[in-house]
Amino acid sequence: MAVSTCVALVACACGPEATKEDTDAKPSSPSASTSAEGPSATPSASARTGKPSAEPSGDQPAPRTIEGAIQRYEQYLHALGREDIDTVCEVAGPAAKKAQDQGLGPCTSTYAVVFQMISPAQKKALQTATVDPQRIAVRTPDKIEMPVEAVRASATFSESDLGSYTLEYLKNDWYITD
């Protein structure tokens, strides 16, 4: 129970500034045009004119689909298992901000504590964890519940170990908001 409480609290401690920057820097899914350095048959208007586009720089918006939400949550789970604080705080940024506003520390310090509460076997399991799409709950097209029962991993997780999360589509990507 302590781990899920800390995870929930840590998830609320990351600031939105880091979330936007990290979101802009990291694609949420591979696309057919993964070689962005090569010449493009259809260069963007901003590349030709030097003017900024309305889209996040360099990356396209994440898919606003159930699959996109699952992929983003799996990214979070894998990062949690690797102790990748930057990715964890990026994905959990909105929830972490809420926790920080309620008196918890910043995401980076809160998740440092959470990492210590996860066993080595659980960390290893999280690195390859997947989500069973049959076990998630779509509340709205922009809000999806990821119960702990949906996590498929070589280790068992409970509400007290990992907890359940809500992902919402914000600023062209999926984020943990609760």
- The 10s digit of each residue's pLDDT in 40-91 is 333 333 333 333 333 334 478 888 999 999 999 999 999 999 999 999 999 9
User: Is 115 a member of any domain?
Assistant: yes
Structurally, the chain folds into a number of domains equal to 1
User: Is 123 a member of any domain?
Assistant: yes
User: Is 119 a member of any domain?
Assistant: yes
Asked if 96 contacts 89 with a C-beta cutoff of 8 angstroms, the reply is yes
User: Is 112 a member of any domain?
Assistant: yes
User: Is 147 a member of any domain?
Assistant: yes
Q: Convert the pLDDT of each residue in 145-159 to its tens digit.
A: 999 999 999 999 989
Residue reference for tokens 């781990």: 3
Q: For residue 125, give both structure tokens.
A: 């399991």
User: Is 107 a member of any domain?
Assistant: yes
User: Is 41 a member of any domain?
Assistant: no
Domain of 126, in residue numbers: 2-28+60-176
**Where are the strands (E) in 54-140, listed by range?**
130-131, 137-140
Report the first-to-last Cα separation within the chain, whole angstroms: 16
User: Is 34 a member of any domain?
Assistant: no
